[in-house]
């Protein structure tokens, strides 16, 4: 698989940035989703975003790259780079690893429905990928689940709605509080399952070693 391509543009002027944020605020109110608390951290001003898609999500990925660059983000493009059929799991896992390893503030994975892409990204430990094909889910994914990867279906939502979902996901802060406790519980389940899997692997290795030793005697 070709290496990810980092795309960057100069930051927008202050006026353009304020206009962009004002548009996001209007969209929140118009859709009945409220407004973000003053001073709460969001992903809107983060500098680097990792993105990847399969062939079904390629056109939306290219559109998102343009939107993100226009909003002042740098974009790390993990492919694919055409509409030729391709398998999505490794592309989405690469996006997830980039986020997990601190190489990007947030990740975006795009497919036909976004379902498989979400599953693939979530196989990477430390990733909380959320499938968001509507505005409410996009807001809750960030506000309650502290999602760090957005999955979206290029064959499910139109370009205009997809752009609103993207901006809402990036502009919504994690609420913390009781939700922080629940997110920590989710991550503890992941750690526990990893430990069990490692123990099972070690047990199998020991059994195989004992069988080998027995045959030698």
Residues 6+ apart with CB under 8 A from 7: 65, 69, 74, 75, 76, 77
CA dist., res. 13 & res. 59, Å (int)? 28
CA dist., res. 27 & res. 23, Å (int)? 6
Q: Of residues 55, 78, 117, 164, which has the active-site annotation?
A: 117
Q: Which residue has the tokens 């118009």?
A: 30
Instruction: Supply angle C-alpha 89, 92, 98, rounded to 5.
Output: 135
Q: How far is CA 216 from the centre of its chain?
A: 51
Cβ atoms within 10 Å of 35's Cβ, excluding its own: 11
Q: Of residues 55, 78, 144, 164, which has the active-site annotation?
A: 144
CA dist., res. 25 & res. 139, Å (int)? 13
Instruction: Supply angle C-alpha 97, 42, 161, rounded to 5.
Output: 85
Tokens describing residue 131: 């499938």
117 is catalytic: yes
Active site residues: 117, 144
């Amino acid at each position: 698989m070709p290496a990810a391509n980092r795309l960057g543009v100069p930051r927008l002027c202050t006026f353009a940035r304020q206009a962009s944020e004002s548009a996001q605020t209007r969209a929140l109110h118009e859709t009945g989703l409220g407004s973000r608390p003053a001073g709460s951290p969001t992903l809107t001003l983060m500098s680097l975003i990792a993105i990847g898609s399969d062939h079904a999500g390629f056109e939306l990925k290219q559109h998102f790259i343009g939107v993100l660059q226009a909003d002042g983000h740098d974009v790390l493009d993990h492919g694919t780079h055409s509409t030729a059929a391709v398998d999505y799991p490794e592309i989405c896992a690469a996006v997830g690893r980039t986020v997990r390893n601190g190489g990007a503030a947030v990740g975006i994975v795009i497919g036909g429905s976004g379902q498989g892409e979400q599953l693939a990204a979530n196989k990477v430990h430390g990733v909380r990928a959320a499938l968001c094909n509507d505005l409410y889910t996009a807001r809750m994914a960030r506000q309650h689940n502290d999602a760090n990867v957005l999955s979206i279906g290029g064959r499910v939502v139109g370009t205009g709605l997809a752009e609103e979902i993207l901006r809402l996901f990036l502009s919504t802060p994690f609420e913390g509080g009781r939700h922080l406790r629940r997110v920590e519980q989710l991550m503890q389940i992941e750690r526990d399952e990893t430990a069990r899997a490692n123990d099972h692997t070690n047990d199998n290795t020991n059994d195989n070693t004992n069988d080998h030793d027995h045959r030698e005697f």
